[in-house]
A and B are shown apart, each in its own frame.
Chain A
Amino acid sequence: MELFNLFIKSVFVDNMIFAYFLGMCSYLAVSKTVKTSAGLGLAVTFVLVVTVPINYLVNKYLLAPGALAWMSPKLASLDLSFLTYILFIAIIAAIVQILEMIIETFTPSLYSALGIFLPLIAVNCAILGCSLFMQERGFGNVGEAAVFGLGSGLGWLLAIVGIAAIREKLRYSKIPKGLQGVGISFIITGLMGIAFMAFMGIKL
């Protein structure tokens, strides 16, 4: 139940886009058609589910204050948390690279669907942001971290598919000249965010 609660919360309440604005750049750039945005959304979800638990383990056994105690008691007083950023981003970049190779070898059809988006994801702030939130909130075990990654990814997918669908329709609407394109996307995202605020405070 606890896990399910966390999942629902990370999809709707703490939505990566509407509550924290993470991954906005690719969200605005790629959301022109539903098909490509669903592809990017899936890729983000996939990478989040893999990287958040791995970064959780790295944080727990390498970076947190006193985390190195399992190696030898002498290291128990060591605090490496200042290395968080560089280690997390290196792990994310490496995993994205490895995933790309694995997908290319074993499922070429998935690769051609996600292909161009995968390398972009290494510098998507939603991925690094999710790992940093995971570190800040101090989850109890790997399972919680994985569920958090899955929920955040699905929330991001939901948001980008939603805006893409609206933008496809918008092509036929009359919009003031200066607002066309990026401007209106910002305002619509804001309105969607207000709608999503209705989920605030949900507890299962």
Chain B
Amino acid sequence: MANPKKLLIEPLRKTNPVTVLVLGICSCLAVTAQLKPALVMGASVTVVTALSNFIISLLRKGIPSRIRIIVQLVVVATLVILIDQFLKAFAYDVSKQLSVYVGLIITNCIIMGRLEAFALSHEPWESFLDGLGNGLGYSLILIIVAFFRELFGSGTLLGYQVIPQSFYEAGYQNNGLMILPPMALIVVGIIIWIQRTRNPEMQENNQK
């Protein structure tokens, strides 16, 4: 059995699903205008990845490989329905903000990617940890992006005013561009840039 700590920690840095494997970008960009929906989304995706990895790993010997995609989709969709109903019951306003992106967890490539690449060939407990690690790696990027976008876009964090009023009186203004969709892409681009400059072995060769 692989080192459980490694399974959990690696996806946060070296094999981060968002910045290194470039999976699950859609929802990552769309929900990060504020920190709160980003936190909820990160938690939901982590739960779904961990549990679906666990369930598929339990079932892996009984699934014929021809129809495995359908089986995986059904398992994931069931989990997402549970999450969606849970959010509607206990966090209605956030669930309204996330709108269709909760449903889109089903087609989040991180989940399908981990199911295909890991859960089908590993023990349930390892798969659970791997799913948890990848979910957390995804949440980490989500939180970093949302932190900068909310801080510079609205001057708040989790809805609380962070930039003091005296700054505004001195002429500081919120950068409205940060709230708009295109800035999410640029922020992720910059995160990738910083990460790859620090880890040269991840760099891609453009001339290929």
Where the two chains meet, the residues of A that have a C-beta atom closer than 8 Å to any C-beta of B are 18-25, 28-29, 82-86, 88-90, 93, 119, 122-125, 127-129, 132-133, 136, 170-171, 175-187, 189-194, 197
Contact = CB atoms under 8 A, between A and B. Distances in A.
Interface in B176-208: 180-186, 188-190, 192-197, 200, 203-207
Contact of B74 (A90, A122, A193, A194): A90
Interface of B: 22-27, 29-30, 69-70, 73-74, 77-78, 80-81, 84-85, 99-100, 103-104, 106-109, 112, 180-186, 188-190, 192-197, 200, 203-207
A128 B101 CA distance: 10
Nearest to A119: B69
A26 B100 CA distance: 19
Contacts of B108: 125
B92 to A, nearest CB: 15
19 contacts: A23-B26, A25-B23, A82-B84, A85-B80, A85-B81, A123-B73, A123-B107, A125-B27, A128-B103, A128-B106, A128-B107, A129-B26, A129-B100, A176-B193, A177-B197, A177-B203, A178-B193, A186-B189, A192-B182
Contacts of B205: 180
Contacts of B99: 136
B206 A21 contact: no
A29 B26 contact: no
A6 to B, nearest CB: 18
B29 A179 contact: no
Nearest to B24: A25
Contacts of B70: 90, 93
A18 B181 contact: yes
Contacts of B27: 21, 125
A139 to B, nearest CB: 15
With a 10 A CB-CB cut-off, give which of B26, B184, B188, B204 has the most chain A CB atoms: B26
A193 B203 contact: no
Nearest to A94: B70
A25 B70 CA distance: 20
B206 A171 contact: yes
A180 B203 contact: yes
